[in-house]
Amino acid sequence: MTYLHKVINETLRKYPPLSTLHRICTEEIDLPTTNIHVSKDTSITIPVFGLHRDPLIYPDPDRFDPERFNEDKIAARHPYTYLPFGEGPRICIGECR
């Protein structure tokens, strides 16, 4: 990944276009490793801003550090802890992979 990509990703981590994502659960599910049951048709809010500023995921989250997006650091994080454009079938059309 080029340094410019790292800078863009870090900027989107600190300043995501959407602070939350909203989804409707399409089927009953028990979340793994928790005691949480989600019923079908439940409205879910995903706090993107909170995930991106969580110090357990991104140490010193208020510091601008493009090196957070080195290949090894990306591989060490859960893929759904970085969601500047959302994820899944309704991901932003501008997302490049």
pLDDT at 89 over 80: no
Q: How far apart are CA 50 and CA 41, in angstroms?
A: 24
User: Looking at residue 86, what is its pLDDT?
Assistant: 82
Q: Backbone phi, then psi, for 94, in 5-degree steps?
A: -80, -5
CA–CA distances in Å: residue 64 to residues 1, 34, 79, 82: 17, 32, 20, 15
Q: Is 25 annotated as a binding residue?
A: no
What is the pLDDT, as a whole number, of residue 63?
98
Q: Could you report the per-residue pLDDT of 16-65, keeping only the tens digit for each? A: 998 999 999 999 999 988 999 999 999 999 999 999 999 999 999 999 99
